[in-house]
Each structure stands twice: as C-alpha cells, then as structure tokens.
C-alpha cells in the first residue's frame, strides 16, 4: 500500500474493515457507492476504470474536471486505469483479484464471464473471494440483458407512480434512490458474505439488481395493496401532512391516538376531544381531509416559532420544512458529528456526510482520485507490468 493511503488509513482508527482489500470494477452509482461504504468502514478500495474513465466522471455539471456524483461515490479510492477489452488488461484484473477480499462489478449478466473475470474464474485463484454482481433486471429472465439505470427502473417498477403530480402524472423521484439503496444492500450482502467466508474459508457470488431493490423498497406498499385491493393508498393516520404557518411550512405527523388527543388539546379543539369517533385512527381516516383543513386554518394564524414551542411542549411529532443547506448550519448536526470536510483538487473543501453509525469515530475518507492517478503505484505493488 502506498504511503498516502497508509497515512489516510491511520486516521480511520478502529474501522471495522481495516485490512480488507476491495477491487471495484463498477461504474456509475450503485456499485461505486457499495465500494464507498466499504471504504468508509476502513477497507482499501482499488477502483479499476477504463481509459475513458467511469462514466460518472461525465455525469452532471463539471468543475475542475470533477462531477459531484463521481466525487461522492469514489472518495478515498485508488484509481487504476486498465483496458478490460485487452488481454493484458484482463490479466491485470485477474492478478489484482487474487489478493482482493471483495470484487464489485456491474457489467451486464454474462459479460464478466466472457471477459474471463467472472466469479468462477477469479475464485479459482482465490476461494475466499466475495464477488458482488449488480445488474439492472437480474441475472435471469426475459429482461436480464436489458440495460437499466435508476430512472428507467423507477419507471418500470412503479416507483414513479408514488410521486405523481397534481394531475396524476407519474414523476421521477428527484434523486438516485434506487442506485443508492442498491449500493446499501450490496454492502450489507458483501459484509454478510465476508462473515461467512471468515468462518468457512469459502467466498460466494452475491447477485443483486436494481429491480430487486425497487421491489424491496415497496414491500409494505404491496402488502397494503394486497390487503386493500380496491382502495387507493391512504395515509397511516390523520391529521398528517404539510401545513403552512404564518412564516413557513412544517410537517405534522400523528404517530398514534394519544398524540391526536394532545394535538387537539394544544389547538383548543374541545369538540375533537368530545367526539369519540375521532379517538381512533380508523375513525379519523375517513375524515382526514376535513381534519386537515381545520388544522391548516389554525396553523396559518401563527409563526413557526409559536407552533414549535407548543408542539414540542405537547410532544407532537413535527419538523420545519428546511433545505439540505440548512443542515450544514444545524447545531444538531454539529453536535452529532454528521458532517466532515472533503478536500477537492482545484476547489477547496466541500461538506461530506459521514457514514451513519460512524459519526465522530473516523477521519475523512480521503479525496476523490484523478483518473488513473494510482495506476503505476498499485500495479507495481502487485507485481504487474504496466
């Protein structure tokens, strides 16, 4: 391991995956995000990129030769450029994989095998290898070879239907939710497979897809639809929703019947307290629109600070509607160690959200690498002729 990487790892303390080596052959978001999570837990992540670079390097706005997506998914990794279409490039990948604990790839099903870098080929030289394959639609089935990205999977899976506009038109959920969740699932599956490999000495091939993630994210909604097939999706309780105060918005959420009674008390709605049909969620849901209108009229009469004090005093769930930028100035985030700072070449430092569960226990993950920045050092370390 080269000196800069070793120095960075010294700041990560007792990170759980200290000493683990990950070979990240993936591009885009889902696979690289899996690798990023493992890196944040202490693993060394060697990112193999084609000569033109991971396509995320061209995804979105570019400043100082960098995109936010490429930075956010690849910080702390070592970039090695290899042409997997060439025999020498493929041979180098095989050599790197011989000393890796985890390999991540998101080629279409069958491509890695045809290139000679599939699970069977690599595990023959490294039986304890955990090999993570991420695909769009899965490794089998009529759509297995169809390409997919977050947005097309949101459309195919019905997730866009959950984000309809006022006219009922399905809309994209405005961040890469499926990709990021797939990366989370992939890191969890890799961690479980590493545990098994540590006990048995045998690795395994972990396969997962954007399709599986999209279904898993909608699991409780599908259960609800099966239980109530003739009904539209309804709120779980009432009154719940976005309400405008005199100087801004807040979101109100009724967790249970007791909370509704506390809300009625703080608003001075004695008729709600007296009306026993409103004392259960089942009784309130048919009247959700009516209840919501009355709450809206009441909240509009006073500023947010007034309602924050009352809702807090009466233990009613709420939150101001803020912007992500507000988090950076939040005293709560500062106290909880939510953010660190990430250096970017040619830009300076930008905010960095620490890995949940590790706030305050790890140093910075390390800067995002330039394309091929570590090729010579890494190949030399592994005894591979460039």
Tell me the domain boundaries of the chain. 3-219+367-381, 241-326
- The SS3 assignment for 101 reads coil
Task: Inform me whether the pLDDT recorded for 12 exceeds 60.
Answer: no
Residue 232: the pLDDT is: 74
Q: Look up the CATH number of domain 241-326.
A: 3.30.1540.10
pLDDT category of residue 2 using cuts at 50, 70 and 90 = low
State residue 332 phi and psi, 5-degree precision: -65, -45
Instruction: Output the CA–CA distances (angstroms, integers) from residue 166 to 169, 176, 248, 370, in the order listed.
Output: 7, 22, 21, 44
The CATH T-level fold of domain 3-219+367-381 is Rossmann fold (3.40.50)
Residue 4: the pLDDT is: 44
Q: Distance between CA atoms of 62 and 99, rounded to whole angstroms?
A: 35
Closest CA to 134 of 103, 107, 100, 97: 107
Predicted confidence (pLDDT) per residue in 16-28, tens digit: 999 999 999 999 9
Strand order in the sheet with 204-209: 78-81, 44-49, 21-24, 102-105, 130-135, 204-209
Predicted confidence (pLDDT) per residue in 218-240, tens digit: 999 999 999 988 777 677 899 99
State residue 188 phi and psi, 5-degree precision: -65, -45
pLDDT category of residue 14 using cuts at 50, 70 and 90 = confident
Which residue, chain included where needed, has tokens 């409103």? 278
Average the pLDDT over each of 239-253, 306-320, 348-362 and give the range with the smallest value.
348-362
Q: Distance between CA atoms of 131 and 366, rounded to whole angstroms?
A: 25
Is this structure's pTM higher than 0.85?
yes
pLDDT category of residue 38 using cuts at 50, 70 and 90 = very high
Q: Distance between CA atoms of 155 and 65, rounded to whole angstroms?
A: 31
Task: Inform me whether the pLDDT recorded for 169 exceeds 90.
Answer: yes
pLDDT category of residue 7 using cuts at 50, 70 and 90 = very low
pLDDT category of residue 384 using cuts at 50, 70 and 90 = very high
Instruction: Output the CA–CA distances (angstroms, integers) from residue 66 to 78, 213, 306, 368, in the order listed.
Output: 16, 28, 44, 9
Task: Inform me whether the pLDDT recorded for 3 exceeds 80.
Answer: no
Mean pLDDT of the chain: 94
Q: Distance between CA atoms of 304 and 308, rounded to whole angstroms?
A: 6
Predicted confidence (pLDDT) per residue in 247-298, tens digit: 999 999 999 999 999 999 999 999 999 999 999 999 999 999 999 999 999 9
Measured distance between the N- and C-terminal CA atoms of the chain, rounded to whole angstroms: 17
Predicted confidence (pLDDT) per residue in 124-133, tens digit: 999 999 999 9
Residue 50: the pLDDT is: 97
């Amino acid at each position: 391991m080269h000196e800069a990487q070793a120095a960075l790892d010294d700041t990560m303390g007792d990170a759980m995956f200290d000493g683990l080596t990950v070979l990240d052959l993936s591009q885009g978001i889902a696979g690289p995000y899996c690798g990023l999570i493992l890196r944040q837990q202490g693993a060394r992540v060697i990112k193999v990129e084609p000569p033109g670079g991971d396509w995320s390097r061209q995804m979105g706005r570019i400043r100082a030769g960098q995109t936010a997506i490429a930075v956010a998914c690849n910080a702390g990794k070592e970039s090695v450029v290899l042409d997997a279409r060439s025999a020498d490039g493929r041979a180098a990948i095989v050599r790197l994989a011989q000393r890796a604990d985890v390999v991540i790839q998101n080629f279409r099903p069958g491509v890695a095998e045809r290139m000679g870098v599939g699970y069977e080929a690599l595990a023959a030289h490294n039986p304890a290898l955990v090999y993570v394959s991420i695909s769009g639609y899965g490794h089998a089935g009529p759509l297995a070879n169809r390409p997919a990205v977050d947005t097309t999977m949101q459309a195919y899976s019905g997730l866009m239907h959950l984000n309809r506009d006022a006219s009922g038109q399905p809309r994209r959920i405005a961040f890469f939710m499926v990709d990021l969740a797939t990366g989370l699932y992939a890191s969890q599956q890799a961690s479980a497979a590493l545990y098994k490999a540590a006990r048995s000495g045998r690795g395994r091939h972990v396969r997962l897809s954007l399709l599986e993630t999209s279904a898993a994210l909608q699991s409780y909604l599908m259960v609800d639809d099966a239980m109530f097939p003739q009904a539209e999706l309804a709120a779980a309780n009432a009154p719940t929703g976005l309400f405008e105060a005199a100087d801004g918005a807040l979101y109100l959420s009724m967790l249970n019947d007791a909370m509704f009674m506390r809300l009625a008390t703080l608003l001075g709605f004695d008729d709600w307290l007296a009306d026993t049909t409103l004392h259960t969620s089942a009784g309130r849901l048919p009247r959700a629109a009516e209840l919501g209108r009355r709450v809206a009229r009441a909240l509009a009469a006073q500023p947010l600070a007034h309602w924050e004090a009352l809702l807090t005093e009466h233990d009613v769930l709420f939150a101001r509607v803020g912007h992500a930028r507000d988090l950076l100035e939040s005293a709560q985030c500062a106290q909880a160690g939510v953010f660190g700072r990430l250096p970017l070449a040619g830009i300076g430092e930008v905010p960095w959200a620490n890995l949940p569960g590790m706030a305050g226990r790890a140093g910075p993950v390390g800067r995002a690498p330039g394309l091929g920045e570590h090729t010579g050092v890494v190949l030399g370390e592994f005894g591979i002729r460039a």
